[in-house]
Amino acid sequence: MDFRTLFEPKTMAIIGVSLHNDRHPANVIYNKNRFRYPVKVYAVNPKGGEYYKEKVYKNIKEIPEKIDLAIIAVRAEYVPGVLEECVESWVGGVVVISGGFSETGRHDLREELIRIASEADFPIIGPNCLGIYSPSHIDSFFLPSERMVRPERGNVAIVSQSGGILVDQMVKYADQGIGLSRAISIGNKAVITELDLLKYLVRDDQTDVIAFYIEGFGKGEGREFVNMASRSPKPVIVMKAGKSEAGSRAVSSHTASIAGDYTVFSSVMKQYGIVEASDEYEMLNFSEALSCYPKAIRGRVGIVTASGGHGVVAVDRCNKSELEVPPLPEDRQEIIREKLSNSIKTIASIGNPIDLTGSAHDDDFVVAARQLSLIDDIDCVLILLLPYLPEVTSDVGARLSQLYQETKKPIVAYVPHVEKYMMIIEGFQLNNVPVADSIEGAIMMVEAMKRCGQC
């Protein structure tokens, strides 16, 4: 199946548009795409008529041109009939927003969807999902536009069984400046599964990192997923729910999936170099790091700080994450000290971490980071930047990020994420250097590069 028309359709039909309720899910989807996206949108309701002076078609067969994507938001029992009409009209694919299938015990309706799709080789996302958000193309989420938080266009794709988790992650990604290529809510995944989307996203030229929120698999799917993800040329991140017995029961009631043995699944992912995120915060930081640096490293870290306390916390966290903080060679320490500004030359601690003290200038951070970047036994430079220091300017992020362009040695920064420091943060991000909002988050970013064994 080629999913390109699902993510970048030129024509779309919204089936189930209400003639009287603007807040109906179908109406929300119709209006946001009609006014905010380049796709041509058609409304469908069995009664026909008009909706804000636009024709409402009684069924998809009446629409005068071929439809790339249909969004179905009707009662569950009507979905199979609507699907049959979509197949007969050569629609490119369907998103079924409607709920009321296996998650409520209606396995017969789910099986009917699968039968229709199988006989026609017809792509269906859902049911019981939000569907697709593809920046600059479409948004099938039935969430009002004024309440949606949309990340900028980027190179990370997220596939999620849970629409709520997906929307939460989009809020966090936007806040941290991580761009998305695709966001896909698959719900009960009756037809299109994680496996299908992994196959597609590996080939998708808009995507460099693929992240999954997975609640459970069908029989035999877990093994196949791991095998496929381990061969992916792009980093694959997985956050798995249903880790506990109670969580497994919740998974079954949510999407009727099989949660499986989490311990075994986690162990196999680690063995095959698939990056597992234990929670949403790890997924956030892993996604940002790998979107900038999609290659594995050994995990030897050089640290630059202006606060001894920050350095100690960072070393402890590195140790917990099995990252090395090796001592610096004596000759390199002498070079660094010699190049520092006179105000800190005698008081800076030139070990690893390099503590430049609160009197450091922009130049001192650049000197220390450059010298660490030149050491073969350092795989990544971690910069703990305190933007409130008196001698640090708003240019420091841009200046430091240029080092990566020169040396190609990965740099990860920690800067508090508040509006006052956004110029510094943007200086890093515009040059593709990831910036965490905590020391822990920054070290997670380094950890992601180490754990990406097959990248």
User: Average model confidence (pLDDT) for the chain?
Assistant: 93
Say whether pLDDT at 259 is over 70. Answer: no
Same domain, 92 and 192: no
| Residue 351 domain-assigned (yes or no) | yes
| Residue 143 domain-assigned (yes or no) | no
Distance, in Å, from the CA atom of 337 to the CA atom of 348, rounded to the nearest integer, reads: 8
Burial 4-13 (b: 16+ CB within 10 A, else e): ebbbbbebbb
| Residue 140 domain-assigned (yes or no) | no
Same domain, 31 and 110: yes
Say whether pLDDT at 218 is over 90. Answer: no
Same domain, 242 and 307: no
Same domain, 158 and 223: yes
Distance, in Å, from the CA atom of 272 to the CA atom of 268, rounded to the nearest integer, reads: 6
For the beta sheet containing 349-350, the strands, ordered from the edge strand earlier in sequence to the opposite edge, are 349-350, 354-355, 301-305, 380-384, 411-414, 435-436
Task: Read off the CATH number of the domain in which 59 is found.
Answer: 3.40.50.720
Say whether pLDDT at 256 is over 50. Answer: no
Strands (E), 161-228: 180-185, 209-214
Q: Sign of the CA dihedral 229, 166, 99, 19?
A: negative
Distance, in Å, from the CA atom of 172 to the CA atom of 167, rounded to the nearest integer, reads: 9
CA distances from 427 to 400, 421, 436 (A): 9, 10, 13
CB atoms within 10 A of CB 24: 16
Same domain, 315 and 398: yes
Say whether pLDDT at 83 is over 80. Answer: yes
Please write the tens of the pLDDT for every residue from 275-322. 999 999 999 999 999 999 998 999 999 999 999 999 999 999 999 999
Say whether pLDDT at 258 is over 90. Answer: no
- What is the DSSP track for 332-385? HHHHHHHHS-TTTTTT-EESSSEE--TT--HHHHHHHHHHHHT-TT--EEEEE-
Indicate left, alpha or beta for 122 from its phi (over 0: left) and psi (-120 to 50: alpha): beta
Same domain, 256 and 300: no
| Residue 139 domain-assigned (yes or no) | no
Look-up of token digits 């870290």:
301
The pair of three-digit structure tokens given for residue 64, joined into one six-digit string: 């005068």
CB atoms within 10 A of CB 132: 25
Backbone angles phi, psi at 162, to 5 degrees: -100, 125
Q: What average pLDDT does the segment 182-190 reach?
A: 96
Say whether pLDDT at 180 is over 60. Answer: yes
Which of 292, 311, 342 represents a domain boundary (last residue)? 292
Say whether pLDDT at 454 is over 70. Answer: no
**200-209, 228-237, 249-258, 281-290, range with the lowest pLDDT:** 249-258
Same domain, 303 and 261: no
| Residue 134 domain-assigned (yes or no) | no
Contact (Cβ atoms closer than 8 angstroms) between residue 266 and residue 276: yes
Which of 292, 307, 334 represents a domain boundary (last residue)? 292
- Give the largest Cα separation in the chain, rounded: 82
Same domain, 157 and 49: no
Which residues, including other chains, have CB under 8 Å from residue 85's CB and lie 6 or more apart? 59, 60, 61
Which residues, including other chains, have CB under 8 Å from residue 419's CB and lie 6 or more apart? none
| Residue 142 domain-assigned (yes or no) | no
Task: Read off the CATH number of the domain in which 417 is found.
Answer: 3.40.50.261
Question: Is the backbone peptide bond immediately before 327 cis, with ω within 30 degrees of 0?
Answer: no
Q: What average pLDDT does the segment 132-161 reach?
A: 95
Indicate left, alpha or beta for 114 from its phi (over 0: left) and psi (-120 to 50: alpha): alpha
Same domain, 338 and 376: yes
264 lies in which domain range?
149-292
- Please list the helix, strand and coil fractions of the chain in percent, rounded to the nearest 5, in that order: 40, 20, 40
| Residue 138 domain-assigned (yes or no) | no
Q: Which residue has the higher pLDDT, 1 or 196?
A: 196
**96-110, 126-140, 198-212, range with the lowest pLDDT:** 96-110
Contact (Cβ atoms closer than 8 angstroms) between residue 448 and residue 303: no
Contact (Cβ atoms closer than 8 angstroms) between residue 423 and residue 390: no
Same domain, 303 and 263: no
Nearest to 381 by CA among 413, 418, 342, 349: 413
Measured at the CA of 330, the angle between CA 340 and CA 439, to 5 degrees, comes to 65
Same domain, 276 and 303: no
Give SS3 for 202.
helix
| Residue 192 domain-assigned (yes or no) | yes
Same domain, 312 and 401: yes
Please write the tens of the pLDDT for every residue from 8-52. 999 999 999 999 999 999 999 999 999 999 999 999 999 999 999
Question: Which residues sit opposite 43 in a β-bridge?
Answer: 14, 56
Which of 292, 312, 335 represents a domain boundary (last residue)? 292
> pLDDT confidence of 1, banded at 50, 70, 90?
low
Domain count, the chain: 3
Q: What is the pTM of this model?
A: 0.92
